Chain A
Amino acid sequence: MSDPAVHESFLVHRGLKYFKLALLIVVAAVVAYIWHRPLGAPNGGTWLGYTLGGLSAAIVLWLTWFGVRKRQYALGATRLKAWLSAHVYLGLALVVLTTLHTGFQVGWNIHTAAYALVLLTVASGIFGIYVYARYPRLMTANRAGLTLNGMMTQIAELDQEIRESSKHLPQEVSEALLRAAQETCIGGGIFRKLSGRDPACPTGKAQRLMETKYAETGIDDPNIGKVIALLVRKSNLLRRARRDVQIQAILRIWLFFHVPLAVGLLGTLCAHVLAVFFYW
């Protein structure tokens, strides 16, 4: 394509431009840290400490602004992808910058709390990168051209077919099938979503019931074979639908940590800065 930036992932945006920028900052910081000989142990109060702290604070503010920038849809020609690329690499750089800023001094205080929150926020972000890099492919493979709505429609159609084929089956079986049609659900609570399974799925139960029951007695009614086949198809679709819900949940869940941690960090950072200047 004419414009090389048109079709590539945010991770490799424009030949790793922001990775290189972040690397440069990190290397410069490390070199300065090694070169710098402060009075006493290295800490946040030296000129280098203040510089690293100030830089880190500025980066944190800029990173949190991403939440706003992402929603400024009409703004400017810069693509959000570029922002995300920079967000990722500058965020990763923070780990080194803030660690050097601490001078490896930690304790039970607000300052270390801010440092810890930086690490936690970045860690959740790293998980996000992993998720973004891995799961889209899995989702496409699992969907195989269907959407979740499409799966639901097919499941409803199967239910209808099962109902039509199971009119003259014994009460025990038809009750199980009715439950399978009415009570089977996809998703639910967050843990259910994330597990991608439902051990108590009424459809699975009905399938097992029919399989064991007719394994003993043998199949004399052609409808029974058909219903079992339909149940197997429904179970497969259910598995895929739950997997889809699971992947979608994983793709989102990390933000429920990343964003609150970032907001918490912002607060702690303010406290940290205020405390530093208050006790100056």
Chain B
Amino acid sequence: MGESAAKFEVAIVGSGPAGLSAGCRAAANGMSHIVLEKADHASDTIFKFQKGKHVMATPDVLPLRAEVAFSMGSREEVLETWNAGLQQHNVNIRYNAEVSAVTGERGGFDLTLTDGTLIQADNVVLAIGLQGNLNTLRIPGSETATHLQYQLDDPDEYEHETIIVIGAGDAAIENALGLCGHNTVYIANRGDEFSRAKEANESAILAEIERGRILPIYNSDSVRCAPGNLTFDTPDGEITVDCDRVIARLGASPPRRFVEACGVSFPSEARNALPEVSKTYESNVPGLYIVGALGGYPLIKQAINQGYEVIEYIRGNVLDPADEPLIRERLKPVQGFDTDTFLAETRARLPIFAELNPLMLREMIVESAVTAPKTGATVFERGDYSNSVFTIFQGSVRIHIDEKNPDNYVVLEQGAFFGEMGLIAGRPRSATITSNSDDTILIETPRRTMLKLRASVPSLRQTMDQEAVVRQIQAYIASSLDRDSIRELAKSATLESYKKGQTLFEEGDEGDAIHLIRKGSVLVSKRIAGREVALAYRAAGNYVGEMALMSNMPRIASIKAAVDCETIKIDGEAFRKLMADHPALKAEVQDRYGERVVETEKMLEKPEAGSIIEFLMGEGIGEATDVLLIDESLCVGCDNCEKACAETHGGVSRLDREAGPTFAHVHVPTSCRHCEHPHCMSDCPPDAVKRDKEGEVYITDDCIGCGNCQRYCPYDVIQMAPEPPRKPGLLSWLLFGAGPGPGEDKSYRASAPKDARKTAVKCDMCKDISGGAACVRACPTGAAVRVKPADFMSFVMEHRGELDR
């Protein structure tokens, strides 16, 4: 057809977040432009999200720089905002316009559409993302199959069908979850777990599988497809599953052939390799820019910002990155560094950050705090539950190893990091840290950022773990030893992890390795008269296995993980050799050994106490930092604890006294345990679940009511509650009977409007109330107690008498 139109200053291919943002910016600048969209609507990827899907606006700290608005919300809200933006700016967008070829370079690009239309432009912005190029099943029969699809728009469209969902990622899981209400749903997974998915999705799908609402086909590879069925290869041989529909969610990869045909080169042959672009997003073809997921920035907010920026670059403007003001803000406390030097120096001086890419580094600094404490200023105190990690950018700090004598300290120099133990073990700070020089500069990185970096930068994790192992051995086993000997010992050490209930070693086993528990806790037990009797509970920061080491005998007790655990396993031979060379270490271990032998004997006299420990561990107390227990021999059921909780927390009680299990008069009510590694913190979109200095896990006003924390909590202690109405004062109730009286008025929940905003509420250990936990203070009989891990054993031993009565 060869229809020729006017030449545009810029042609933007794709109208996703990046493309539409570029279009709006170009329109706002009055540039002649055209946006070419393959589908008949804008932003096809988001459009094809499952109905009602919650769209996130991460990274939170990154400011949005765009003509279009964008904030976290449902798929529908987001699309509506964007469509309004396109209209408002009068963006020249052409739908149903699929580009088949791009040729030329700056000043003379020719874009050919599939219908033959030719479009000319000076510059081209490729903002086509990856989702346009979904990975497909390549098996016999898949080309012609009519019951096979690669996307799912609205799960409610299907009812009473048998549907196989293939994949183990978030998309597959979300589809399966959406469908399983009205259909028979299989999920076919190449492996046997869903660990690649977001934790919330993983636990949700495992729960549905457990309930039998979704049928898993593990370790399966699809091999053949015929009308009405799909055949898998599994370890048990081939199986054929009859079905009405197959939804394969296999991810997406760059549309390489098309991009290469435009003249763009790729750095490697890998299927998911992305084209390389310059700082201004320009590819190796002059005038051809690549933004968004195809350029390596998969997040919506990043893509939107790039759409804006690329137009500015095309217009010849120089821009600071969007987060520049934030970084400058962070760097205020230190003098003499501009952003670029500081970032470069961070990488050069701090080995753990050496392999962060520039984007990660910027994000890390934005989310961190940079401080310059003067000599003697306290960074944190021993016993604090704060869990950020510090790195020494400049100067040095003192680690005070002796609580009583502040002059007894060791110095940590520039380049080192500290505070990682809180991150790894979830335990309070083990030492007080103060600044050692006036020019000290520290970077304090919050827990969430650090966990993210640990997950995505293997070298950071490795460096950190190596050093942490040395420090933990020194702190918890061999405080008298010098660093070099410990480093030598650490070489023989390995990191082991155990799932809840898994055995570290069994009574009677050969072996003499010592396990230092660095995360979680374990249960020590012994067979007595054919019955397994629990002897003790050991929290993170303790070691087990020294008995066999000292006595040269087989294991005399079994060790089981009470919760998910990580241990540092130290070779017995190496340890024994070290003890032979260092009498002080030998004495240390022997002392501990002696204490334990006595403790074991005491417990053997009272096997009932062991049953209580076992019961408490079964209830997850092994990961608690502070738990409410009720002595039922004293509890009169007045519910004053619940009433006190409700009255001091906006009318909603965060504990349910009656619910929860009881054993030997010890009752574990449904109430927060303030876990060492709080499950509720795993995936909070606004990062509203926080941990206070004393260890209290609480939820800030930032809560958006998504319910993730509630789903994550294995102990059911978080509820989603609407705001209760105000109640009259105590005396008007007492004297005149006004209002429902003290405590939670449960009727308001039923009468609250359906669309009332619900937020997550949980125990905050009354951190904002003077005098301590209201539940315990309000107990008239002394039945309610709060117990910390260090006190469990004494609580149990003291309580043991109850069993004899």
Q: Which residues of A contact B (CB under 8 A)?
A: 1-2, 6-10, 13, 67-68, 70-81, 83-84, 131-132, 135-137, 139-140, 143, 145, 147, 149, 248, 251
Contact = CB atoms under 8 A, between A and B. Distances in A.
A67 B640 CA distance: 12
B316 interface: no
Interface string B744-785: 000000000000000000000000011110101111111101
B778 A73 contact: yes
B791 A2 contact: yes
B782 A136 contact: no
B101 interface: no
8 contacts: A9-B634, A70-B640, A72-B730, A73-B643, A74-B647, A81-B779, A81-B780, A83-B780
Given A1-B798, A136-B783, 12 more contacts: A1-B794, A68-B731, A70-B780, A72-B730, A77-B771, A135-B636, A136-B633, A136-B634, A136-B637, A137-B632, A143-B662, A149-B658
A84 B734 contact: no
Given A132-B636, A143-B662, A80 B780 contact: yes
Interface residues of B, number: 43
A13 B772 CA distance: 18
B791 A80 contact: no
B781 A9 contact: yes
B701 to A, nearest CB: 20
Interface string B603-641: 000000000000000000000000000011111110010
Given A7-B795, A81-B781, A140-B632, A76 B662 contact: no
A74 B781 CA distance: 18
Contact of B633 (A2, A67, A76, A140): A140
A132 B662 CA distance: 19
Contacts of A84: 780-781
A74 B648 contact: yes
B753 to A, nearest CB: 28
Contacts of A70: 640, 778, 780
A10 B647 contact: no
A145 B662 contact: yes
A251 B634 CA distance: 12
Contacts of A143: 662
B140 interface: no
A42 B667 CA distance: 54
Contacts of A77: 770-772, 777
A67 B774 contact: no
B644 interface: yes
Interface string B657-682: 01101110101000000000000000
Nearest to A84: B780
B181 interface: no
A74 B742 CA distance: 12
Contacts of A2: 791
A191 to B, nearest CB: 21
Contacts of A139: 632, 637
A79 B779 contact: yes
Contacts of A7: 631, 782, 785, 795, 798-799
Contacts of B637: 136, 139, 248, 251
A6 B640 CA distance: 17
A137 B795 contact: no
A149 B774 CA distance: 26
Given A7-B795, A70-B780, A147 B658 contact: yes
Nearest to B644: A73
A70 B640 CA distance: 8
Q: Give 4 nearest A-B pairs by CB, closest first.
A: A77-B771, A73-B644, A140-B632, A73-B647
